[in-house]
Amino acid sequence: MSVVVKTVAEVRQQFQGARLNGKILGLVPTMGALHAGHARLIEVARGESDVVVVSIFVNPLQFGPSEDYTQYPRPLAADLELCERMGADVVFVPSSEEVYRSSQLTFVEVTRLTDHLCGKFRPGHFRGVTTVVSKLFNIVQPDRAYFGEKDFQQLAVIRRMTIDLNMPIAIVGVPTVRETDGLALSSRNRYLDEGQRKVAIGLYRALLKAQELIRSGEKDSARVRESAIALLKRDPGIRLEYFEIVDPEEVQPVKDAITGPVRIAGAVWVGNTRLIDNVSV
């Protein structure tokens, strides 16, 4: 039975004993609207940790003024059921007032890695993510924390934050879970109507096209990018935000020849829904 806690004080109380007994604490930070991708994160955490805590908190700090903070789905009962089913020990569901008790004057910011991709198009987004993740790390003090590779830039940024700030937490990336046609699972997929759902797969197709070109020996990153974008643009239902080939560690666009491992990442709009996805080569 998962224990649901709402306050920082209760979290500290829950974990005091576990920590003293040398138990491994695994944290799965989420914004709720949980799907099979989150279930997989909890499953991996369950396999590696003695105590698994899932946090559910829609973090206002990481949404821009014109973004979907108020609309973001909050199906709490279904989320708690999924946590229970996946064997989470504790679910931390704080209110916004609990997390941001005072007006927040301290922020955590990772530079450079946030210059491109989502960082470029969502100013302040990663500062909101790294600030709240730091707070969650300080509240829960986990040994390990689990993040999906679908948010590849977020994962790279959080990894770098823990290294740069000497946080004693292992960051575990978990591969993206996909629908049978390949669409990456996302809480925002539930905004798509039937027609948009069909169109949404175009991003993954373009990513696969780029991946295939590189695998078959194309080294010119501009050429790969152009071919993939041309494929994407064939579908009038998709509006491209970015499509980049970047180095996996510092998330910088590869301008010249592709000589080592890269990540191909894209963001598109389908109607009013923004979708992101990535693949590695």
Task: Please list the active-site residues.
Answer: 38
Residues in a beta bridge with 29: 55
Least separation in angstroms between residue 145's CB and ligand PAF is 9
Contact call for residue 33 and ligand PAF (CB under 6 A)? no
The residue among 170 and 208 lying less far from ligand PAF, judged by its C-beta, is 170
Phi/psi for 211 (5° steps) reads: -60, -45
237 CB-contact burial (10 Å; exposed 0-12 / middle 13-18 / buried 19+): middle
Of 2, 30, 49, 131, the one binding ligand PAF (CB under 6 A) is 30
Contact call for residue 129 and ligand PAF (CB under 6 A)? yes
Q: Which of 131, 137, 119 has the alpha carbon at shortest distance from 55?
A: 137
Contact call for residue 133 and ligand PAF (CB under 6 A)? yes
Of 59, 131, 186, 211, the one binding ligand PAF (CB under 6 A) is 59
Site track 80-119 with ligand PAF (rule: CB under 6 A), x = hit: ----------------------------------------
- What angle, rounded to 10 degrees, do the helices at 8-20 and 125-140 form? 50
Stretch that binds ligand PAF, among 126-134, 176-184, 226-234, 239-247 (CB under 6 A): 126-134
Q: How far apart are CA 24 and CA 166, in angstroms?
A: 19
The residue among 62 and 189 lying less far from ligand PAF, judged by its C-beta, is 62
Q: How far apart are CA 264 and CA 135, in angstroms?
A: 30
Q: Which of 50, 10, 57 has the alpha carbon at shortest distance from 29?
A: 57
Binding region for ligand PAF (CB under 6 A): 29-31, 59, 62, 129, 132-133, 151, 154
